[in-house]
Structure 1
């Protein structure tokens, strides 16, 4: 009934209040869940984009200021490409996307970080701490094996494990937002094992925060 749908919509909107760091509360987003510091502009970007790439593109300011940010991101991307041996590093617009195969971070059906994965995350944390004027989005993804609810929970737990490790390594918690997207955003065809393997991943979006954008706009005006 229409009334029931309206009530359900209101309940979903209420559920999208932002969770604080350390809380287990999450909010719904296009079949996913949000946690961490997702307030302000970043929170709005997360609610409108269901991929790390979309968030990065949505945050772009363009023009000469965007080019200034892009040059700063080039430096970070070069360092990440050099130091992250088990990750794919891509420059996207005015940001960076880092993709880890979940199998390199976690054991099968697990959300606890493996010992071998920590050296990569140590290097990632080092670079993130070197360039503090960025926001960070951590997205967990799964293949479609198992129930949708189970995959959603597992993806959120994995994203949170990465977040917590980075925080332990000194990355400011206020910079980070986590999302569990489960099986809702496949990268490849789930009908093959190779496709399912590609879908089991953690994507990390790195984008300019408001301070970095304002500094770039100021520099643009001085040119």
Structure 2
């Protein structure tokens, strides 16, 4: 299993050391770095992960129609979902991690495989993996889903910000097209803000962690629903 718990850290960036696996770009056959096994260190540098849902959760809970059996998401079903996601995405380079203590599930799509440089078009070879993510979100419907986009530093800051937003939106649109309720999805682009994050590969080369998208699945409990409804 490649799950790891993400803890809060005080720094905004860090050079990451660890063993990395490789995945194959479905279009070019080129080997790319997968960050299997280093999720805890990476996640700990990113304070946004432990923040609330994009735009707040109350209106989104109501808009997404979450209720009734929401409490079942927390606990065993949370464990079931993260375990199934981990198994279904095995070998794709996707990292599936627990944020906090069942606060959220983070699905980190692999750098350099999901998108080509300068592009917001999802590589067709990655559709099957995203289909698995969509299937999981449909099977476990009582959660909010935040999609974050990132870029490298090639090009202007403004261009990269727009590209990161487009990448996040492209993934959200794909999930919605596969049947995930649009009301559950929200997106945010971080541009090149975290391009300084790197992992040292087996060849002792610092590989940037960019051109990626992260999907944060935030479970909603009965108490969350009641608070949203003002009960």
TM-score class, shorter-chain normalisation, is 0.5 to 0.7
Match of 1:119 in 2: 128
1:170 to 160, 172, 179: 179
CA shift, 1:127, in A, is: 0.4
Contact 1:156–1:181, Cα closer than 8 Å, also in 2: yes
Establish whether residue 71 from structure 1 lines up as the match of residue 66 from structure 2.
no
The verdict on how the C-alpha distance between 1:162 and 1:147 changes in structure 2, with shifts beyond 3 A counting, is same
Match of 1:134 in 2: 143
Unaligned stretches of 5+ in structure 1? Answer: 1-48, 60-65, 216-223
Q: Secondary structure at the match of 2:108?
A: strand
The verdict on how the C-alpha distance between 1:187 and 1:131 changes in structure 2, with shifts beyond 3 A counting, is farther
Q: What is the CA–CA distance in structure 1 between the aligned matches of 2:197 and 2:216, rounded to whole Å? A: 19
Count how many residue pairs are aligned between Structure 1 and Structure 2: 159
Contact 1:52–1:204, Cα closer than 8 Å, also in 2: no
Match of 1:89 in 2: 96
Unaligned stretches of 5+ in structure 2? Answer: 1-45, 58-70, 227-231
CA shift, 1:69, in A, is: 1.7
Contact 2:111–2:212, Cα closer than 8 Å, also in 1: yes
2:214 to 181, 203, 206: 203
Contact 1:69–1:213, Cα closer than 8 Å, also in 2: no
Larger relative contact order (Cα-Cα within 8 Å, sequence gap ≥ 6): 2
Contact 2:97–2:107, Cα closer than 8 Å, also in 1: yes
Relative to its length, the structure with more helix (as a share) is: 1
CA shift, 1:211, in A, is: 4.5
Contact 1:163–1:176, Cα closer than 8 Å, also in 2: yes
Which of structures 1 and 2 has the bigger CA Rg?
1
The verdict on how the C-alpha distance between 1:53 and 1:203 changes in structure 2, with shifts beyond 3 A counting, is farther
RMSD, matched Cα: 3.0
2:52 to 38, 49, 55: 55
**CA offsets 1:87-131 (integer angstroms, 9 cap, x no match):** 000011221001012422122211111111100000000000000
Contact 2:108–2:212, Cα closer than 8 Å, also in 1: yes
2:156 to 126, 138, 147: 147
Q: What is the CA–CA distance in structure 2 between the aligned matches of 1:185 and 1:88, rounded to whole Å? A: 17
